[in-house]
Amino acid sequence: MDRADIFSHPDSKWTEGLGPNADIVISSRVRLARNIQNIPFPYLLGDDKEGEILNLIKNIIQDPDFKEKVGIFHYLPLSELTPMERWVLVEKHLISPQHAQSHGHKGVVIREDEAVSVMINEEDHLRIQCLLPAMQLNEAWHLADEIDDRFEQALDFAFDKDKGYLTSCPTNVGTGMRASVMLHLPGLVLTRQGYQIFATMSQIGLTVRGMYGEGTEALGNLFQISNQVTLGLSEDDIINHLTSVTLQVIEQERHARGILLQEAKEQLEDRVWRAYGILSHARILSSQEAMTLLSELRLGIDMKIIKEIDPKVFNVLMVTTQPAFLQQKSELELQPQVRDIKRAEIVREKISSYSGGD
C-alpha cells in the first residue's frame, strides 16, 4: 500500500467484517492519549514546537527497529492534504472530525493495513488509535499497548505516579484510554427498545454516540458505545466493563431480531426486499437514504432473508458512499445532485459485485 491507496481504496482493517459477533459489532477501537514531558499541551503550542513534535514522530516511525517490531507507517502532514483528503480519513475512521478541521502543524501516521493510526497534535500530542473488525476489544488494546510501548522507548510521556498519564482534557487523565465499539442495532431501534437501553449507559460510566463519535448522529442504526471514565481504573478494568456491557447489548439485539422475525416476519421481509430493490435500481440516493437502506439490507443479510450477498458490502459502502470519498474518487468537487447520482451508481455496482453479479 502506498500513500495514494489510503485515499482511493475504501478497505481498511475494520471493513474486513471478520471476527466474533461480526453480524452486530462492526468494529472495536482503543485510543490512547499521550503527551510529551515538559512540552505544553497542543492548545498552548506555537508553530515551532508543533513542527518539532511532527519531526520527532516522523523520525521514530522511520527507525528500522520500529518498522520491524510494529510495521510500516505512512507519515501525512495535514498541511499537505486537501480538505477532501482530510475528510476521506475521517470517513475511514482514521482521524477525528476535529483533527480534520484543525490548522497549523498537525499530522497523522497510518500503518499499512490501516489498523493503527496516530494523530499528532490533536487535543493531545499523540492519540494512538487501533481499530479492528468485529468484537476484538482485547486484541485492539494489546495492539495499542504494543504501539504505545514502542513510542515510549523514544519519548518521555507526561506521567504522574498518583494521577497517571496527563492529558489536555481532565476526563482522559489516568489511563488516557477511550475504548469503543461500533454496533449495528436495527432490531433495538425497530422494536423501540434501544433508547431505554442507551439512557442507562451514563449511569454505568459509558456513553452512546453516532458513527463518527462525539456530536455526530447515529446514521444507519450505527451506534458507538465507549467509556467515560479513565481515572481510577486500569486499562483491563475499562476493557472488561465495556466488553461485558456490549455482550449484553448484543444479546438484546439478537432477542429483538428474533421478535421481529416471529411477530412481524412479512413486514420485516417486505422492508428488507424493498431496501434491496431500491439500492439495486435507484438512480439517485442521498447519503442519509443510502445509510438507512443499507442498514435494512444488512439486517436482511444477517438474518438470512437475503442469502446471496456478502455482508461485507455494508462495511465497504459505509465508506464509498460518503461525500468526501465520492468526490476524491471522482477527482472532482461534485454538486450535491451529481453526488447523489454517483452514489446510486456505486451502490448498484457494489451490490452486484458482492452478489456474484446476479
Binding residues: 27-31, 93, 127, 178-182, 209-214
> Nearest-CA neighbor of 312 among 133, 112, 111?
133
The rounded distance, in Å, linking the Cα atoms of 21 and 135 is 6
> Nearest-CA neighbor of 36 among 137, 162, 143, 124?
124
Cell of 47: 508553530
The rounded distance, in Å, linking the Cα atoms of 8 and 188 is 34
The rounded distance, in Å, linking the Cα atoms of 255 and 186 is 12
Binding residues for ATP: 27-31, 93, 127, 178-182, 209-214
Query: Which residues have CB under 8 Å from 278's CB, separation 6+?
Result: 293
> Nearest-CA neighbor of 355 among 347, 335, 196?
347
194 close to 205: Cβ distance less than 8 angstroms: no
